[in-house]
Amino acid sequence: MKYIILVLGFLGIGYLNAQGDTSIPAELTWGNSFKEKKRAQMLGIVGKTEDAYYTLNFTRGKYTLNKMDKGLSPLEKYPLNMQFEGKKMSFEGIAQVNDQFFLLSSFSNQKLKKNFLFVQKISASNPTNATQLTKVAEISFAKRRFTGSFGYHVSDDSSKILIYYAQPYVKDGPEKFGFSVYDTDLNLIWNKDISLPFSEDLFSVKGYRVANNGDVYISGREFKNKLKSKDRDGSPNYVYHILSYTDNGEHVKDYEIDLDDKFITDLQFALDNEKSLRCGGFYGENSGAGIKGTFYITIDLETKRTMTSNFKAFPEDFITQGWSQRSIKKAKKKEAKKGKAIEMYQYDMRDFILKDDGGIIMLAEQYYVHVVTTTTYDAQGRPTTRTTYHYYYNDIIAVNIDANGNIEWQTKIDKYQHSTNDGGYFSSFTTAVVDDKIYIVYNENARLYYTKEQLKALSRKEKKAYFTLLVELNSDGEYKKTPLFNTKENEVATRPKASLQTGDRELVLYGKWYKKQRFAKLSF
């Protein structure tokens, strides 16, 4: 049975009173709650058709494509074939390209010392209809431990598929990788094996993508000398490269991204109509992982000329927003005594969103893991050691870059998520881009959502509540937080990492509560 809840009514009077305007520019539609085996894992929403959604699931070593109707109620499960003649293959990925799923699997042949990558096309309208395996890449290896790895990327217009393969690690050897570009009928358009003039120990590939015309772009970081240290006499010991392989691999260009004395901590790139490269990211002034500001560069693909180069240091009050007075004092003291700039720490770029108006929004999240090992002794003096992994997913920062490359604004969304020994299962956030707004969904404790004054009016039970929140971030960098639902009352906690924007104006949320699972759809 499916039912629709109008969020405003569903939230109840309490939230209205507590937070003022809680109207949500979205309609929440729930699917049926259903039970799954304890070990069943929903790995992600992988596709949709006119009448169904598909999720990738994993249970006891078996992968399945699970079909849901448009009302988000489960229908069938389609086992993914990961065997050939009794030989087990490794799952490498699945992607929907138009009306088909491309299932990637690999088999490491110990006799031939080769790792093969296969693609199987599965009809999205009828997943029982699958083609035979097609071999699309192979990697030779010498040692069983290092058999290389595969990756893939689908072009923005879904017309090309890039198969990327990293050659096995060889100590002191050059960085080697290769790629093949296929059309959607799995016809090979071109392929190339690359051996870079950098040692594998000093170069790491960070990203790869294929353009609509079949050109391939690889980004990576090169350390300048043998010591893989970020700092060399106070300036960065590394540069970022974006390598382009155009005209079926005939022409190669190296675009070096070097910010002189600034330490690039994160870099993402996109293509602008195959004419220019748009690179954005964060930089620090210290050699650690801290970020001091943001940058945006556009490079002419033909001439390699830098067309735009903008940097913006975050204001100090922005960096220290949400910090305790003690932390601010400590950071200032460090700056005065040791010359260490005040920076934000442990931020990972999560999204690099290209807007319709030509601008870009970058979203980053503070994420770190803290490991605590404690040893206790019993009455006989026997020690017991326990290691606890603390996962922190904190504030989100958003940076807006306009179509001319100007860094218009930055904003910080306060968030605090802490869990132990679970990999941050219910932490982090998911996004939806709708028109000129960004919607962000995550879980938050009521104590953090309400102000101190509002908390005084709440009961103990209300203070302990957890909400799944919706944040609306507008084009001016202002945001509004609104609770979508109370997790305990609805017996569902959202897993943002497994949720996905599935259409221009819809976001499918996946939730779990012990053995129970449930999907919901936000329609904007």
Partner 1 sequence: MSKSIIISLILCFSVNHCYSQDDSLSYYFDDNNLSTAKNLIKFNATAALAGDFGLSYERVVSDLLSFEAGFSMWQGGLFFYPSIDYPGDIPEDMLTPSFFFQTRFYYTFLGLVDAPSGLYNSFMYRRRQVDYTSEPSAYYDEVVSNEVIYHVGYQWLNGARFAIDTFVGIGVGFMDYTLKNPGSSNFVGVSHEFMINLGTKFAYRF
Is 143 or 224 the residue whose CB approaches partner 1 more closely? 143
- Per rule CB under 8 A, count of chain residues that contact partner 1: 26
**In 3D, which of 411, 188, 437 has the Cα closest to residue 314?**
411
Is 60 or 461 the residue whose CB approaches partner 1 more closely? 60
CB of 81 to partner 1, least distance (A): 12
Asked if 260 interacts with partner 1 (CB under 8 A), we say no
Handedness of CA 464, 465, 466, 467 (dihedral sign): negative
Cα 295 to Cα 307: distance, rounded to the nearest angstrom = 13
Between β-strands 479-486 and 466-473, what pairing exists: parallel, antiparallel or unpaired?
antiparallel
Asked if 185 interacts with partner 1 (CB under 8 A), we say no
Is 138 or 491 the residue whose CB approaches partner 1 more closely? 138
Cα 36 to Cα 81: distance, rounded to the nearest angstrom = 21
Residue among 8, 64, 81, 84 that touches partner 1 (CB under 8 A): 84
Asked if 90 interacts with partner 1 (CB under 8 A), we say yes
Cα 90 to Cα 115: distance, rounded to the nearest angstrom = 10
Q: Which stretch binds partner 1 (CB under 8 A): 86-94, 156-164, 253-261, 446-454?
A: 86-94
Is 41 or 184 the residue whose CB approaches partner 1 more closely? 41
CB of 495 to partner 1, least distance (A): 17
Q: Which residues 114-133 are close enough to bind partner 1 by CB under 8 A?
A: 114, 116, 118, 132-133
Radius of gyration, CA atoms only, the chain:
25
Residue among 9, 86, 197, 381 that touches partner 1 (CB under 8 A): 86
**In 3D, which of 161, 154, 157, 201 has the Cα closest to residue 181?**
161
Residue among 6, 16, 23, 88 that touches partner 1 (CB under 8 A): 88
Is 317 or 378 the residue whose CB approaches partner 1 more closely? 378
CB of 111 to partner 1, least distance (A): 4
**In 3D, which of 310, 244, 306, 308 has the Cα closest to residue 283?**
310
Residue among 61, 197, 381, 383 that touches partner 1 (CB under 8 A): 61
Vertex 447, ends 441 and 451: CA angle to 5°? 95
Mapping DSSP onto H, E and C, the string for 395-421 reads: EEEEEEECCCCCEEEEEEEEEEEEEEC
* Residue 347: strand pairing partners: 366
Q: Which stretch binds partner 1 (CB under 8 A): 60-68, 284-292, 399-407, 515-523?
A: 60-68
Kindly state the DSSP code that residue 212 receives in the 8-state scheme.
Answer: T
Is 32 or 149 the residue whose CB approaches partner 1 more closely? 149
Asked if 107 interacts with partner 1 (CB under 8 A), we say yes
Residue among 27, 91, 95, 414 that touches partner 1 (CB under 8 A): 91
For residue 11, give every residue at least 6 positions away whose Cβ sits within 8 Å of its Cβ, in sequence order, or none. Answer: 22, 483, 485
* Residue 105: strand pairing partners: 91, 118
Residue among 3, 21, 38, 144 that touches partner 1 (CB under 8 A): 144
CB of 296 to partner 1, least distance (A): 38
Asked if 87 interacts with partner 1 (CB under 8 A), we say yes
Q: Which stretch binds partner 1 (CB under 8 A): 65-73, 79-87, 336-344, 407-415?
A: 79-87
Asked if 146 interacts with partner 1 (CB under 8 A), we say no
Asked if 110 interacts with partner 1 (CB under 8 A), we say yes
Burial category of 459 from C-beta neighbours within 10 Å (exposed 0-12, middle 13-18, buried 19 and up): exposed
From start to end of 184-317, where are the E strands? 188-199, 203-210, 216-223, 231-232, 235-236, 238-246, 251-257, 263-272, 276-284, 293-300, 306-313
Q: Which residues 398-417 are close enough to bind partner 1 by CB under 8 A?
A: none
Is 58 or 416 the residue whose CB approaches partner 1 more closely? 58
Is 21 or 85 the residue whose CB approaches partner 1 more closely? 85
Helix (H, G, I), strand (E, B), or coil: what is residue 343?
coil
CB of 137 to partner 1, least distance (A): 11
CB atoms under 10 Å from CB of 187, counted, come to: 7
Mapping DSSP onto H, E and C, the string for 258-292 reads: CCCCCEEEEEEEEEECCCEEEEEEEEECCCCCCEC
Say if residues 350 and 363 touch (Cβ distance below 8 Å): yes
Is 91 or 392 the residue whose CB approaches partner 1 more closely? 91
Is 37 or 456 the residue whose CB approaches partner 1 more closely? 37
Asked if 109 interacts with partner 1 (CB under 8 A), we say yes
Asked if 111 interacts with partner 1 (CB under 8 A), we say yes
Residues near partner 1 (CB under 8 A): 58, 61-63, 84-88, 90-91, 107-114, 116, 118, 132-133, 135, 143-144
